[in-house]
Amino acid sequence: MNRITLRLPDQQIEMLEQMVAIGEFPTVSEAVRAAVRQLIEQRGGRVLQESDQVSFKV
């Protein structure tokens, strides 16, 4: 697993910490990973389709 550096507004970090405090996620890092997984599930297919279309144009 690779590491990235991410800057977030204090308000977003506080919300993530509250989610951890109530047991929604075990850690802030896991909450961020879940958000990234959801983003990829929602938009990843479109990105792959667009990249396929670009390769046909070349």
Domain ranges of the chain: 11-57
Predicted pLDDT at 52: 67
In three state form, how does the secondary structure of the chain look?
Answer: CCCCCCCCCHHHHHHHHHHHHCCCCCCHHHHHHHHHHHHHHHHHHHHHHHHHHHHHHC
Predicted pLDDT at 50: 73
Number of Cβ within a 10 Å radius of residue 5: 4
Query: What is the pTM assigned to this prediction?
Result: 0.76
Predicted pLDDT at 43: 87
Tokens of 12: 């977003």
Q: Nearest Cα to 32, choosing from 57, 50, 7, 58?
A: 7
Q: What is the pLDDT of residues 1-57, one digit of tens each?
A: 899 999 999 999 999 999 999 999 999 999 999 999 999 989 887 777 777 665 555
Please report where in the chains the tokens 């970090």 appear, as a residue: 13
